[in-house]
Amino acid sequence: MKQLIFIFLFLGSLSLHACNSAPGDDNGTAGSNDGQVINLTAETFQKLIWDYKKNPQEWVFKGDQPCIIDFYADWCRPCKMVAPIMAELSMEYKGKIRIYKVNTDEQRELAGLFKISSIPAVMFIPKSDKPQISVGAMQKANYMDMIQKILLVQSNLKK
């Protein structure tokens, strides 16, 4: 009986902890860089990437590190192939770049803002230049090559 009570208490404490932070929420610091892919909404995009409502005509990157944004949808098979690659890259480049994802079905405003009509679409955002978008699924090596050429070469960072 004591074991059963202990198990219920343990499971209850785990569920309470899980309810305190949503996946990708980083306990309210959606811009933290703990090696996780972070979900973006239009609101968090404006806070962390670019406030397109305040500066609609001019790209002003708000981030402190280069980043990638994976535009996807849950029903998209190629997007499902890209997701684990982005998770791996997020861990491998932890502390150097941030990786975000945007569900185009839920965040239509963001998809429309960048004229995303085909997914997966991956946006590479260097710290001091304009974003570049790649459409379609690629191999991990191709993403790594683009990270080096677009994101890290400008900052003189290496993996």
pLDDT at res. 27:
37
Among 5, 9, 6, 48, which residue's Cα sits nearest to residue 25? Answer: 48
Fold observed for domain 23-152 = Glutaredoxin (3.40.30)
CB atoms within 10 A of CB 90: 22
For residue 84, the number of C-alpha atoms closer than 13 Å in the C-beta half-sphere is 5
Catalytic positions are: 76, 79
Listed by start position, the domains of the chain span 23-152
Measured distance CA(121)–CA(69) in Å, rounded: 8
pLDDT, tens digit (0-9, with 9 covering 90-100), for 44-91 = 999 999 999 999 999 999 999 999 999 999 999 999 999 999 999 999
pTM of the model: 0.77
pLDDT, tens digit (0-9, with 9 covering 90-100), for 3-58 = 433 333 333 433 333 333 333 343 334 455 678 999 999 999 999 999 999 999 99
> Strand 132-135 vs strand 98-103: parallel, antiparallel, or unpaired?
unpaired
